[in-house]
């Protein structure tokens, strides 16, 4: 008798969530098997890389991170377009860093103006990432949802503290919400239930499990995502059957290991190569854990990750 | 003998317009009858006649009720009465006025089980354990010495003593030998010997002249962190006639008393007591204080039962491990330091004078053994009493106090854990929380249409605060009414004069200042809700972890036994609605009452029961939850109403989604 590879019995399916409108709209999720286990099930939508664009010029970026975007860093619209045109971005994440009350604390109206400009200028799906300050985001993302009407953007992070305000506006303007919880499978599920109770459509939720970069808690995110997927696919846990997004770039690029130059610590080797690998490895690891969208910065790390996705989905 | 004429007469009270009939006895309070029958009447002062909201009209029949300032003469004439100030004196038809009416489909009878449970539960323990007090008294008529029989006095005494069932012999120690010779001869060899049981033999502790068999008492004491309860037991009555049959089943309690543990002034929980014991002289002071609390109770008991302290032969105490350390004056420090090792969990019997009890020098002090730092003899005592160790079906035993100790098992095995639940259900950490004392709001129903409450306080005194059962009711009722979300936060969309923004977030006003005894609005805040959520989550998570360690799930449980003073009046259905208790058929829940005291009482009159507590303590496997990752995970899952896993609470979820209808 021929040897038969044992197969996992799946009982659930990740919901498909569409982001964006028009021809370039994209679907994420839909899997009926563990990540890349295509010999056991279906993975109709391959995982996506989203390029990050900041709403104001970053002043603490490493030279080797600035390099690919030097000419566009002051103009979010041009930046987004460069990602799409030069680096083939299929999705843009607009990080609203300037609104952070602990930083520049730019007024909501000004920030929203930028969001609207970017949204109007690009045709790929837009994801708008707030400040992770519950109160500010509550105000900011509500307006974002409003000005991006009919564009089917994703807004987040939406927390247990502000889900009502943002969720209500997202329902009203038909946007997707990115439900964010602090690295805990139960908290993720609770927020999804609360969003459901509020009336958010199940095809409009993406999970943000909170991302730790390589060396900075990656393993926690990994375990939680693994458990999310096990619950969703093998334990019929409907409240976890949503695509997952990992906002990797800001986590990786703020670490000491991506900041130190070879001169400062010769043991660590070339700084650019090192940083690119750190970003790529974080993304690859989280893709294997079940991420449907990874948010990345450097075109070189993106291309490594695309190669991996391509090979695993060949 | 029961005199039939003294039995209260039974009447039927019919409530309109919902048309529900409830039986009632003469003198019963109308508001309480309504609560029991699941009939909603607005009442926000707890039932003491202050708020005037529980107005009803007596359409037929009558009730005993005096005029009230809230009722005009005209209203009184038309038959309006305040339900809280009315008692039954005949059958009656009671009309609930419009402002109090609730859609009848939401009216459900509270699922409160009473002490009848306890009697049924411990019946097995009484049946299985012969009446043989830990200390026995036997009257002996000894043959005097003669040239052919000149064994020693001590040997003569021992020879005359009927050996125990196990054939154990009696030893006569030096203390008794002192004046034995004179005593025996003065009494013409007719004496009563008091013999205490030790591990392997009996030991004479007292020899008295004449027949003193009937004058034989024991004390059972539950030394709680907050309350010390004691009972005086007549062991002499069991001596008459059949040794096996304790009169009327239960050990005969002739007096009962309780008081706050005097140590309370030195900290409310065991950790603060341990901290205090580390100060200079602190340990001795704490020992002295709890002993004086016990002495006060002893005085009280012997006073009310007219018993001489010298006739008390033995004392059985049960308490948590820290309380036992403090009672014996031994250092409890390591109980609170990882890895949480107590100095001892079992204590050999000693003379009760050793710790300063004001009893005869012969009175022995026995201690129900414990298991670990946070699972003490109080739990072992309750488990033994509940009879769960003689059943094959698996039971879950829960004592929901400050620590929330839980025990899972059957006749073959036992697992236990302590889940540091926090004192929310004892009123701790709750703005208006209190223990179940007069004035504590203990039962609450809330009209989902307008969020108007119906409540009853202990003794129907003016409200002072909210006790554990009241808190459970409030959270469950607010949740089912949609006033709070599944995460325990107020739903802002509900507008009601009773929900408002206070200093610590949103709050629900249970009683307005004028209706209370404290001249402050009694509210439940979001911070309170958080604390209750944490407590209920810890208890549920602890149970879940124990079950999983036994490869079991809640539906596998034949019985859930709820012990502790708290367990008297909790409404099972409400406790399930908030996810404190699992959703299993309500008839599987049993209330044991104070199991610690009950077990100590059984031990006092049954040596085999006392020995069983030792076996139980030794056979319990303690699961440490403080560093258990699975517990943390289950805790997070339980921090939701009723629970993150909605499949575990199908009925609660169904009711929540469809309303009480259908």
pLDDT above 50 for B4:
no
| Interchain contact B630–A (C-beta under 8 A) | no
What is the C-alpha to C-alpha distance for residues A307 and B8, in angstroms, rounded to an integer? 87
Name the token pair of A305: 């990750």
Q: Is B281 left (phi over 0), alpha (psi -120 to 50) or beta?
A: left
Q: Which of chain B's residues have a Cβ under 8 Å away from the Cβ of A239? A: 646
Of A160, A185, A239, the CB nearest to B487: A160
Domain layout of chain B by residue ranges: 9-101, 107-129+214-377, 135-209, 387-423+533-658, 427-523
Q: How far apart are the first and last CA of chain B?
A: 49
DSSP B547: H
Give yes or no for A107 touching B (CB within 8 A): no
Please write the tens of the pLDDT for every residue from B435-486. 777 889 999 999 988 899 999 998 888 999 998 899 999 999 999 999 999 9
- 3-class state of residue A80 by DSSP: helix
In this structure, of B20-34, B581-595, B599-613, B632-646, the range with the lowest mean pLDDT score is: B20-34
C-alpha to C-alpha distance for A34 and A9, rounded to whole angstroms: 11
Distance CA A60, CA A93 (A): 19
Give me the half-sphere count of Cα atoms (radius 13 Å) on the Cβ side of residue A182: 4
Q: In the prediction, which pLDDT does B434 show?
A: 83
| Mean pLDDT value of segment B156-182 | 82
Q: Confirm or reject contact between A160 and chain B (CB < 8 A).
A: yes
- Chain A: give the shortest CA distance to residue B492, in Å: 9
A198 touches chain B (CB under 8 A): no
Q: How far apart, in Å, do the first and last CA atoms of chain A sit?
A: 30
Asked whether the beta carbons of residue B485 and residue A194 sit closer than 8 angstroms, the reply is yes
Least Cα separation, residue B471 to chain A (angstroms): 23
Residue A298 in contact with residue A275, Cβ under 8 Å? yes
pTM of the model: 0.83
Average predicted confidence (pLDDT) for chain B: 87
pLDDT on residue B116 = 55
Task: Supply the DSSP string of A146-186, one letter for each residue.
Answer: HHTTTS--EEEEE-TTTHHHHHHHHHHHT-EEEEE-SS-HH
Q: List chain A residues with CB under 8 Å of B485.
A: 194, 197
Do B107-129+214-377 and B387-423+533-658 agree at the fold level? yes
pLDDT band, very low/low/confident/very high, at B42 (cuts 50, 70, 90): confident
Q: Which of B486, B637, B639 sits opposite A194 (nearest CB)?
A: B486
The share of chain B scoring above pLDDT 70, in percent, equals 91
Q: Class for domain B135-209, per CATH?
A: alpha beta
CB contact under 8 A, B485 and A197: yes
Rounded Cα distance, B438 and B398, in Å: 25
* B487 in contact with chain A, both atoms CB, cutoff 8 A: yes
**CB-based contact A184 B486, cutoff 8 Å:** no
C-alpha distance from B265 to closest chain A C-alpha (Å) = 39
Phi, psi of B378 (to 5 degrees): -65, -40
Which value, in Å, is the radius of gyration of the alpha carbons in chain B?
A: 28
Residues of A in contact with B487 (CB under 8 A): 160, 190, 194
Report the topology of domain B387-423+533-658.
Nucleotidyltransferase; domain 5 (3.30.420)
Could you give the CA distance from residue B268 to residue B248 in angstroms, rounded to a whole number? 39
Structure-block tokens of residue B459: 């003794």
* Total residues belonging to chain B: 662
CATH 1.10.3720.10 fits B9-101, yes or no: no
Record: fold of B107-129+214-377:
Nucleotidyltransferase; domain 5 (3.30.420)
A70 confidence band (pLDDT: 50, 70, 90): very high
CA distance B342 to B326: 12
Strand pairing category for B80-82 and B190-197: unpaired
Task: Tell the CATH topology of A16-312.
Answer: TIM Barrel (3.20.20)
Q: β-strands B453-457, B440-446: how paired? A: antiparallel
d(C-alpha A123, C-alpha A84), whole Å: 9
Structure confidence at residue B122 as a pLDDT band (50, 70, 90): confident
CB contact under 8 A, A193 and B633: no
Of A48-52, A224-228, B131-135, B412-416, least confident by mean pLDDT is: B131-135
Residue B2 has pLDDT above 50, yes or no: no
Tell me if chain B has a CB within 8 Å of the CB of A187: yes
Q: Is A6 in a helix, a strand, or coil?
A: coil
Q: Where are the alpha helices (DSSP H) in B502-594?
A: 526-549, 572-577
Q: Does B117 touch chain A (CB under 8 A)?
A: no
Mean pLDDT of B213-235: 92
Inspect the interface and report whether the beta carbons of B640 and A190 lie closer than 8 Å.
yes
Query: What pLDDT shows up at residue B3?
Result: 41
* A197 Cβ under 8 Å from any chain B Cβ: yes
Residue-level pLDDT at B240:
44
Question: How confident is the model at residue B7, as a pLDDT?
Answer: 63
Tell me the sheet residues that pair with A205.
A177
Residues B464-473 pLDDT 10s: 999 889 999 9
Chain B interface includes A219 (CB < 8 A): no
């Amino acid at each position: 008798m021929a040897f038969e590879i044992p197969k996992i019995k799946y009982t659930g399916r990740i919901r498909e969530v569409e982001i964006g409108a028009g021809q370039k709209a994209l679907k994420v999720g839909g899997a009926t098997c563990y990540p890349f286990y295509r010999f056991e099930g279906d993975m109709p939508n391959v995982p996506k890389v989203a390029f990050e664009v900041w709403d104001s010029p970053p002043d603490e970026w490493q030279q080797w991170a600035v390099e690919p975007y030097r000419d566009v860093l002051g103009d979010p619209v041009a930046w987004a377009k460069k990602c799409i045109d030069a680096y083939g971005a299929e999705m843009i994440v607009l990080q609203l860093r300037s609104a952070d009350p602990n930083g520049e604390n730019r007024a909501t109206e000004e920030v929203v103006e930028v969001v609207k400009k970017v949204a109007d200028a690009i045709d790929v799906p837009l994801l708008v990432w707030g400040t992770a300050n519950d109160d500010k985001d509550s105000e900011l993302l509500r307006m974002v949802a409003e000005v991006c009407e009919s564009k089917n953007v994703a807004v987040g992070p939406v927390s247990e503290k502000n889900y009502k305000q943002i969720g209500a506006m997202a329902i009203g303007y038909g946007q997707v919400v990115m439900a964010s919880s602090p690295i805990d499978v139960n908290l993720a599920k609770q927020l999804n239930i609360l969003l459901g109770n509020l009336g958010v459509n199940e095809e409009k939720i993406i999970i943000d499990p909170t991302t730790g970069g390589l060396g900075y808690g990656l393993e926690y995110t990994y375990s939680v995502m693994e458990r999310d997927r096990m619950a969703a696919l093998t334990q019929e846990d409907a409240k976890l059957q949503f695509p997952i997004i990992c906002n990797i770039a800001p986590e990786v690029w703020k670490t000491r290991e991506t900041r130190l130059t070879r001169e400062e610590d010769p043991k660590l080797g070339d700084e650019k190569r090192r940083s690119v690998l750190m970003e790529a490895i974080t993304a690859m690891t989280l893709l294997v854990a079940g991420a449907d969208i990874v948010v990345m910065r450097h075109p070189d790390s993106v291309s490594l990750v695309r190669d991996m996705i391509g090979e695993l989905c060949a | 003998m029961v005199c039939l004429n003294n039995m209260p007469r039974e009447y039927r009270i019919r409530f309109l317009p919902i048309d529900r009939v409830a039986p009632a006895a003469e003198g019963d309070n109308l508001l309480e009858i309504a609560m029991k029958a699941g009939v909603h009447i607005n009442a926000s002062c707890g039932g003491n006649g202050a708020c005037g909201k529980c107005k009803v009209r007596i359409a037929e029949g009558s009730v005993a009720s005096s005029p009230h300032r809230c009722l005009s003469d005209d209203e009184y004439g038309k038959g309006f009465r305040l339900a809280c100030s009315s008692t039954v004196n005949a059958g009656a038809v009671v009309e609930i006025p419009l402002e109090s009416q609730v859609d009848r489909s939401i009216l459900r009878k509270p699922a409160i089980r009473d002490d009848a449970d306890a009697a049924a539960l411990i019946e097995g323990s009484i049946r299985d354990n012969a009446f043989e007090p830990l200390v026995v008294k036997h009257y002996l008529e000894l043959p005097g010495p003669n040239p052919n029989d000149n064994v020693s006095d001590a040997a003569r005494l021992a020879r005359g003593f009927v050996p125990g069932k196990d054939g154990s012999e009696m030893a006569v120690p030096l203390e008794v030998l002192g004046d034995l010779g004179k005593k025996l001869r003065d009494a013409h060899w007719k004496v009563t010997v008091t013999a205490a049981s030790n591990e392997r033999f009996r030991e004479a502790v007292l020899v008295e002249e004449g027949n003193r068999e009937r004058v034989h008492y024991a004390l059972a004491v539950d030394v709680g962190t907050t309350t010390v309860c004691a009972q005086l037991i007549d062991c002499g009555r069991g001596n008459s006639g059949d040794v096996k049959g304790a009169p009327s089943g239960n050990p005969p309690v002739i007096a009962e008393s309780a008081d706050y543990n005097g140590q309370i002034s030195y900290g409310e929980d065991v950790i603060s007591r341990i901290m205090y014991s580390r100060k200079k002289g602190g340990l001795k002071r704490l020992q002295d204080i709890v002993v004086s609390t016990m002495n006060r109770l002893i005085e009280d008991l012997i006073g009310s039962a007219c018993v001489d302290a010298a006739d008390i032969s033995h004392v059985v105490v049960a308490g948590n491990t820290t309380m036992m350390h403090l009672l014996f004056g031994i250092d409890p420090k390591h109980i609170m330091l990882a890895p949480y090792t107590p100095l001892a969990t079992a204590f050999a019997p000693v003379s009760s004078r050793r710790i300063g009890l004001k009893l005869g020098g012969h009175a022995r002090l026995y201690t129900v053994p414990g298991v670990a730092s946070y699972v003490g003899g109080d739990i072992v005592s309750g488990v033994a009493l509940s009879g769960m160790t003689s059943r094959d079906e698996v039971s879950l035993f829960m004592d929901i106090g400050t620590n929330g100790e839980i025990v899972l098992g059957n006749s073959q095995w036992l697992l236990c854990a302590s889940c540091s639940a926090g004192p929310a259900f004892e009123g701790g950490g709750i703005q208006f929380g209190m223990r179940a004392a007069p004035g504590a709001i203990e039962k609450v129903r809330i009209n989902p249409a307008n969020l108007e409450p119906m409540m009853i306080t202990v003794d129907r005194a003016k409200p002072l605060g909210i006790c554990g059962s009241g808190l459970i009711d409030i959270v469950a009722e607010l949740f089912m009414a949609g006033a709070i979300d599944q995460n325990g936060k107020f739903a802002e969309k509900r507008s009601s004069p009773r929900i408002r923004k206070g200093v610590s977030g949103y709050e629900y006003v249970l009683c307005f200042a004028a209706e209370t005894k404290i001249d402050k609005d009694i509210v439940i805040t979001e911070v309170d809700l958080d604390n209750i959520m944490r407590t209920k989550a810890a208890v549920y998570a602890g149970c879940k972890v124990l079950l999983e360690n036994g490869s079991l799930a809640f539906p596998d449980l034949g019985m859930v036994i709820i012990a502790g003073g708290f367990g008297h009046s909790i409404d099972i259905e409400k406790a399930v609605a908030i996810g404190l208790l699992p959703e299993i058929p309500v008839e599987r829940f049993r209330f044991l009452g104070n199991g610690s005291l009950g077990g100590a009482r059984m031990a006092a009159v049954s040596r085999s029961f006392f020995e069983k507590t030792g076996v139980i303590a030794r056979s319990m496997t303690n699961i440490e939850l403080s560093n258990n990752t699975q517990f943390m995970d289950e805790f997070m899952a339980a921090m939701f109403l009723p629970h993150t896993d909605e499949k575990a609470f199908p009925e609660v979820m169904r009711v929540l989604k469809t309303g009480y209808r259908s």
